């Protein structure tokens, strides 16, 4: 028997062996069953179940369900994970969402003003998948100089200049400058832009 090796290409897989192994006899099972069989349903992981309501929300992006409420004074409840929800009467000043969510996840940003002159900042993380819960984060900015959150948000630069912290500063601290935050800020007609001369 010869010790020569033969290489055979079967459906993109290389099978090496002796000439006798390279061409099986008729009616005999193939030497490499994985190379011959196609994946079965049990080999493919099942698709994750999705929420129909969330799919509708995703299909409307960047439009949000509360877009008609911008500028309308009414009662609001902003949900927070791990903290008490925030209930107030006031106005939704602006909201922003991405134009699409191809992987089934997206963020929603909102800024409210209460009738008492405070501002509420909200981030909601959405998922179309039924087994994934939405996330909710929110903070309140109180312009009163005696409020603890206001004092905590004041940076060393602001204290050195003795400039009172404004709600827009607090919004930037909360949202940052990611693309969605910048889309939210653009709703305020340049108020968040850095103007230089």
Q: Note the pLDDT of residue 156.
A: 55
Q: Note the pLDDT of residue 22.
A: 46
Q: What are phi and psi of 119, to 5 degrees?
A: -120, 140
| Residue 53, both tokens | 């309501």
Is 86 a residue whose pLDDT tops 90? yes
Computed over every residue of the chain, the mean pLDDT equals 80
Q: Note the pLDDT of residue 196.
A: 79
Task: Write the pLDDT tens digit of every residue in 103-145.
Answer: 999 999 999 999 999 999 999 999 999 999 999 999 999 987 5
Residue 137 CB: number of other CB atoms within 10 A?
A: 16
Confidence tier at 191 by pLDDT (50, 70, 90): confident
For CA atoms 100, 68, 183, 174, the dihedral sign is negative
Contact of 123 with 175, CB cutoff 8 Å:
yes
- Return the higher-pLDDT residue of 97 and 151: 97
Q: Note the pLDDT of residue 20.
A: 47
Is 97 a residue whose pLDDT tops 80? yes
Q: Which residues contact 80 (CB under 8 A, 6 or more apart)?
A: 86, 136, 137, 138
- Whether the pTM exceeds 0.85: the reply is no
């Amino acid at each position: 028997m010869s010790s020569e090796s033969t290489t055979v290409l079967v459906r993109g897989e290389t099978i090496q062996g002796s000439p006798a192994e390279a061409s099986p006899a008729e009616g005999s099972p193939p030497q490499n069953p994985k190379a011959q069989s196609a994946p079965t349903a049990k080999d493919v992981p099942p698709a994750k179940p999705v929420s129909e309501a969330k799919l509708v929300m995703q299909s409307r992006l960047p439009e949000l369900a509360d877009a008609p409420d911008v500028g309308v004074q009414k009662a609001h409840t902003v949900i927070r994970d791990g903290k008490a929800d925030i209930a107030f009467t006031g106005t939704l000043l602006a909201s922003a969402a991405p134009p699409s969510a191809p992987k089934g996840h997206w963020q929603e940003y909102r800024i409210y003003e209460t009738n008492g002159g405070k501002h509420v900042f909200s981030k909601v993380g959405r998922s179309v998948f039924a087994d994934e819960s939405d996330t909710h984060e929110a903070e309140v900015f109180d312009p009163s100089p005696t409020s603890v959150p206001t004092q905590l948000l004041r940076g060393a630069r602001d204290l050195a200049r003795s400039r009172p912290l404004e709600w827009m500063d607090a919004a930037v601290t909360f949202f940052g400058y990611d693309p969605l935050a910048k889309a939210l800020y653009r709703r305020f007609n340049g108020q968040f832009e850095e103007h230089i001369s």
